[in-house]
Structure 1
Amino acid sequence: MTPPAGAAAFLDSAGWGGAAIMPLAGDASFRRYFRVARGAERAVLMDAPPPEEDPRPFLAVGGWLAERGFGAPAVLASDLGRGLVLLEDFGDARLREVADAEPGREAALYEAAVDVLAELRTHPAGPFAPYDRAVLRREADLLVDWYCPAVGLPVDRDGYRAAWDAVFEHALAGETVTVLRDYHAENLMLVKDGLGLLDFQDALAGHPAYDLVSLLKDARRDVAPALETAMLARYVAATGAGEDFMRAYHVLGAQRNAKIVGIFTRLWKRDGKARYAALCPRVWAYLERDLAEPVLEPVRRWFDANVPAARRGDPMMAAS
């Protein structure tokens, strides 16, 4: 986590000359984050190095959110050629750590997160690419592209696609909203005026159930079934969502978690980030809960025929 080349000059041009630069976080992509400190002032430096990363989508989505009163961080300065962006610092109070440390607040914190999604649904989708069938297919394919080969399973790829195609219509019907795509406890910050949002640069226009799936079937944190049920009820009460919404919720739950199993396996196999493989058992548990729903019957049949229960879990273990 060495500061990127040109960081000092960028900060100087932004009026932050002489500020200390401290490692803050990395993520599953090439992006890195640093805290910038000058006296009592704080900011966050995002390093999104080209050509691997492009900060423009982050700025576009953040601007769209801020214009509508949602908690995107303010942009203090940017150098798009170098992929450097100076952002408002939301502090250290992430929903994940606060909920873990103070279980008595967990329900209220998740209620606040659900309320943001209910409010987001009142706005027409932004000018973002559609979360269409092609994207859903490509993402679901990550499981057969990466997990199945990693654990030595030859599978029926054509049957896999056909099974998903039989259920995707549920996730494509009805209204579309801005889908942030990684809306979960590690990307939600507790700030003075509510929740600060992070990691929304991949936003698309899609089904409103998707971000609820991200929140309540969290790959990085256990969400108890009782909490999931309560939060779904809160969302339904706020939005009037009906049975069609719940069918989409289950389809997108299965699709997202099939995708995540594939992504986490790729992070292990290709990028050497073994910690992600260890998260896969939790993701499989979410996936299997949705596969038990009647709407997912074609997909469940494919999994039963191609991926034995004993081979569903940590790919490092299932491969041995």
Structure 2
Amino acid sequence: MTDAPASLPTREHQRAAFLARAGYAGASLLALPADASSRRYFRLEGVGLLLMDSPPHSEPIGPFVRVARQLHGLGLSAPALLQVDEEAGLALIEDFGHDTYTRLLAAGYPERELYRLAVDALVALHGSAPGAELEAYDARQLSDECALFIDWYAPLLIGKEAAQALRESYLQQFADAFADVAQRREALVLRDFHVDNLMLLQGREGVAACGLLDFQDALVGAAAYDLMSLLEDARRDMSEGLRVALLSHYLVQRPELDAPRFLEDYRRLAAQRHAKVLGIFVRLAGRDGKHGYLAHLPRTLGLFVRALNAEALAPLREWLDRHLPGWREPLPAATLAALRETPYRLVQGSSHGHVQH
């Protein structure tokens, strides 16, 4: 066995060559904090641009480019694309600055105003055809996601072998619950529509003032999904009064909708998403050593329990009561402590797919 040839370019060299081709040779790069994916961003200081580094083997950049262009065509604010090398997984994109919803809300910016703008952006998005080139958010995809709960969260309650033995039965319960909503092909679903991925853009009017990030995993599915993920966010609490007001604000602007069906879709997708996110947060901690997500488990569990209070989801709720005793209660402190002790990245060099939550 011999080492790889020294002539092979490192990722750093690839980034430098890409920037040189774009006319920014020698630009000073500031690495931005990483998220739950393998993608990285670097700020080109002083020029209003970001370098997006999306490793082709784990995070192909093509979907981001295609969805960005579709959003631009609708008058929505995805980052402008200045230069793209899909094969290398590199792009030079517009820098939206620092005003994420998360940061603004923490600083005391009016909550209702920000959320209404985000809802208006969804109304604009959902008023157009979703496009035929994207895959469907179908039953298989929904099932793969909610399996994260039985694969990662449930073993903390009943053990790995017991959870594995229940897997097929659990997935059937969920399949029954979302059989109808899985047929929807009514909207472009961005799938990560929450405060970390929304920005307020000064100097832009109307829905263009809402900057959109992290949409490369978009699919075609139910319009209720992104509104639900905005209003039932694992990251922060929202009052029930505001949640209802924002739901109404959306529905009033879309009188053509069958509102009862939309709300039913919302409830079923909420159960699916919260199950998925509970599994993801445990996986991020236990497998990847990213323990910060554990702080959001109690809130996410509360949202999951509330979603399952819907009468239509009684069979799933009763299944959980029967097979996962204590599922409504927060994980014990000892369990959380064990997750925090897990070594970072048990498999060195393993790739980590993007995480929606």
Length-normalised TM-score, structure 2 = 0.83
Bigger Rg, structure 1 or 2: 2
Task: Give the Å deviation of 1:11.
Answer: 1.2
Q: Secondary structure at the match of 1:16?
A: coil
Instruction: Identify which of 249, 266, 270 aligns with 1:234.
Output: 249
What's the Cα RMSD here?
2.0
Q: For each residue in 1:194-237, what CA deviation from the matched residue of structure 2 results, as whole angstroms up to 9, or x when unmatched?
A: 11100000000000000011101111222222221111111111
Contact 1:25 1:34 in 2 (8 A): no
Task: Give the Å deviation of 1:79.
Answer: 2.2
Instruction: Identify which of 41, 44, 56 aligns with 1:33.
Output: 41
Counterpart of 2:84? Answer: 78
Q: For each residue in 1:111-152, what CA deviation from the matched residue of structure 2 results, as whole angstroms up to 9, or x when unmatched?
A: 000111111111111221011111111111110011112444
**Number of equivalenced pairs:** 316
Instruction: Identify which of 255, 261, 267 aligns with 1:244.
Output: 261
In structure 1, C-alpha distance between the alignment counterparts of 2:328 and 2:305, rounded to whole Å: 13
Counterpart of 2:304? Answer: 287
Instruction: Identify which of 114, 117, 129 aligns with 1:112.
Output: 117
Contact 2:183 2:221 in 1 (8 A): no
Contact 1:151 1:311 in 2 (8 A): no
In structure 2, C-alpha distance between the alignment counterparts of 1:53 and 1:134, rounded to whole Å: 21
Q: Report 1:4-83 matches (<5 A).
A: 4-37=12-45, 40-83=46-89
Change in Cα spacing, 1:172 to 1:5, as seen in structure 2 (3 Å) is same
Change in Cα spacing, 1:315 to 1:27, as seen in structure 2 (3 Å) is farther
Counterpart of 1:128? Answer: 134
Change in Cα spacing, 1:197 to 1:316, as seen in structure 2 (3 Å) is farther
Task: Give the Å deviation of 1:297.
Answer: 1.0
Hey, which of these two has a bigger chunk of strand by percent?
Answer: 1
2:21 maps to amino acid: S
Q: For each residue in 1:257-281, what CA deviation from the matched residue of structure 2 results, as whole angstroms up to 9, or x when unmatched?
A: 1011111111112111111222211
Task: Give the Å deviation of 1:175.
Answer: 5.1
Task: Give the Å deviation of 1:314.
Answer: 4.7
Counterpart of 1:141? Answer: 147
Q: Secondary structure at the match of 1:11?
A: helix
Instruction: Identify which of 272, 276, 289 aligns with 1:255.
Output: 272
Length-normalised TM-score, structure 1 = 0.93
Give 5+ residue unaligned stretches, structure 2: 1-9, 339-357
Counterpart of 2:199? Answer: 189
Q: Which runs of 4+ in 1 moved over 6 A?
A: none
Equivalent pairs: percent with the same residue?
Answer: 41
In structure 1, C-alpha distance between the alignment counterparts of 2:186 and 2:333, rounded to whole Å: 38
